[in-house]
Amino acid sequence: MAYFVLACQVLTALVFLTAAAGKLRSRAVYAGFVAELGNWPLVPAGLRPAVARAVSVAEAAVPVLIAVPVTRRAGAALAALLLAAFLAAMILMRARGTVARCTCFGRNPATLGTRHLVRTAVLFGAAVSALPGQGADGPATVGGGLIAAGFGALGALVAVTLDDIAEAAGPATPRGVTHTPRS
């Protein structure tokens, strides 16, 4: 169980590190994130900047909290709380027929779809599983811990590049037809 918890902690920390870095890498990207919040339910125009700051700070705090043993539980709990809020907002938007884009990692935003709901649900499960306890005193061996961390890192890579993977695995473009990249 300790190896699974460690893998989930690494996955959660890396996903949130990537999300925060993606949004905060430039003023233009951050401004795009703030603007996109206009399509998310329950975010009035006047609160967009404050909500964007709160989300960005919380996302940046998650990997730091998870990295420190005494705050690891708080980091995983914060991640689970954020993911639950994101998931609830996505479900609400779909129910209302609202179209929004995923600016989760600050690059190549894609229209929110089923894969984003599934990814967020899986990440929520990982964040909950990252909560220490359940007798998880740490990996029994360094090698096992490194392998578990590697699986967590691989899971994070898949999560943050999901849109790219979906695009690459999508239907092939017929000859003579040009592909229009996402905006």
> Per-residue pLDDT tens for 18-32?
999 988 888 988 888
pLDDT-derived band at 182 (thresholds 50, 70, 90) equals low
Asked whether residue 81 carries a pLDDT value surpassing 80, the answer given is: yes
pTM (predicted TM-score): 0.85
CB 162 within 8 A of CB 20: no
Q: Is residue 27 part of a domain?
A: yes
Q: Is residue 35 part of a domain?
A: yes
Asked whether residue 16 carries a pLDDT value surpassing 80, the answer given is: yes
Into how many domains does the chain fold?
Answer: 1
Q: Is residue 174 part of a domain?
A: no
Q: Is residue 173 part of a domain?
A: no
Summarize the confidence of residues 43-61 as an average pLDDT.
90
DSSP state, 83?
A: H
Q: Is residue 177 part of a domain?
A: no
Distance CA 48, CA 35 (A): 8
Secondary structure class of 99 (helix, strand, coil): coil
Query: What is residue 12's predicted lDDT score, i.e. its pLDDT?
Result: 97
Q: Is residue 51 part of a domain?
A: yes
Task: Count other Cβ atoms within 10 Å, centred on residue 110.
Answer: 18
Q: Is residue 7 part of a domain?
A: yes
Q: Is residue 176 part of a domain?
A: no
Compare 80 and 38 and report the one with higher pLDDT. 80
